[in-house]
Amino acid sequence: MALLEVRDIVVRFGGVTAVGGVSFDVNERQICGLIGPNGAGKTTLFNVISGIYRPQEGSVRFAGTVTTGQPRHRMAPLGLGRTFQNLALFKSMTVRENILAGAHSAGGAGFLANALRLPRARAEEAAAARRARELIHLLQLDAVADKPVVDLPFGTQKRVEMARALISQPKLLLLDEPAGGLNHGEVDELAELFQHVRRSFDLAILLVEHHMSLVMRVSDKVVALDFGKKIADGTPDEVRSSPEVIRAYLGDGHAEAVHAA
């Protein structure tokens, strides 16, 4: 059984079919890239998987549980972590405080136990503080750990967001355009970081990304969308050489040229 099973997802906005019946799987410890030209339906599908949109048709099953239709706050406890395209950090809070905020959204002790500082809540807090320290170290944030996020470069803020998603110990990390706004050096660092994070946490990663060379470099498998349909699903090499993918990105003439070659 795959870790994530996306089945026949359909999402319509009025007369626009943003996603028109897409299915694919992500296995445990797999890095899967979701690509496609502008308007292909990537963000819409990502929002279905992370529980923000409820599809008109189809289902998402994560670790054996159907997640479509479940409230969004149930996703982190199930083992789904995510980051956002435009960052969703508390800017005036420090790096450490932001990372710890991710632990609170997944905490099991509950509001009352936390408010009364019952032993279970205190143990959870201590464990979260320890995990935050480990993540700060792993994501090379030691030097800025107690600085407000607002003062940090964009690339560093992205690492903070990843740490915040990781503190809830997800089985699948959903990354929305992690390379957006990063320079060349930062993209190279990100590629290494993905491998490192996968190894250290034994998790799977699904990334929506425009940066093609990053996707092809880090992914075990790639799913390509165009006009809301899946046009390819395979290894980076298979997807890169798919005539449908070449046509979607470059137009008909190129696809025929590649096909003839």
Ligand X SMILES: Nc1ncnc2c1ncn2[C@@H]1O[C@H](COP(=O)(O)OP(=O)(O)OP(=O)(O)O)[C@@H](O)[C@H]1O
Does residue 38 belong to the site contacting ligand X (CB under 6 A)? Answer: yes
Cβ neighbors of 22 (< 8 A, separation 6 or more) are 6, 8, 9, 41, 45, 58, 225, 228, 229, 230
Q: How far is the CB of 62 from ligand X (least distance, A)?
A: 20
CB 118 within 8 A of CB 126: no
Structure tokens at 68: 């479509």
Based on CB atoms, which residue is closest to ligand X, 124 or 209?
209
CB 229 within 8 A of CB 56: no
Q: How far is the CB of 154 from ligand X (least distance, A)?
A: 18
For ligand X, which residue of 18, 144, 173, 232 counts as binding (CB under 6 A)?
Answer: 18
CB 124 within 8 A of CB 108: yes
Q: How far is the CB of 143 from ligand X (least distance, A)?
A: 33
Based on CB atoms, which residue is closest to ligand X, 42 or 96?
42
Q: How far is the CB of 230 from ligand X (least distance, A)?
A: 12
Does residue 51 belong to the site contacting ligand X (CB under 6 A)? Answer: no
Q: How far is the CB of 183 from ligand X (least distance, A)?
A: 20
Strand partners for 16:
13
Report d(CA 158, CA 163) in Å as an integer: 9
Amino acid identity of residue 58, one-letter, is G
For ligand X, which residue of 10, 23, 29, 39 counts as binding (CB under 6 A)?
Answer: 39
Report d(CA 174, CA 83) in Å as an integer: 6
Does residue 43 belong to the site contacting ligand X (CB under 6 A)? Answer: yes
Candidate ranges 11-19, 70-78, 123-131, 229-237; the one touching ligand X (CB under 6 A): 11-19
For ligand X, which residue of 3, 31, 40, 204 counts as binding (CB under 6 A)?
Answer: 40
DSSP reduced 3-state for 18: strand
Does residue 13 belong to the site contacting ligand X (CB under 6 A)? Answer: yes
Q: How far is the CB of 36 from ligand X (least distance, A)?
A: 5
For ligand X, which residue of 32, 33, 42, 211 counts as binding (CB under 6 A)?
Answer: 42
Phi, psi for 86 (deg, rounded to 5): -105, 30
Does residue 35 belong to the site contacting ligand X (CB under 6 A)? Answer: no
Phi, psi for 10 (deg, rounded to 5): -125, 125
Contact residues toward ligand X (CB under 6 A) are 13, 16, 18, 36, 38-44
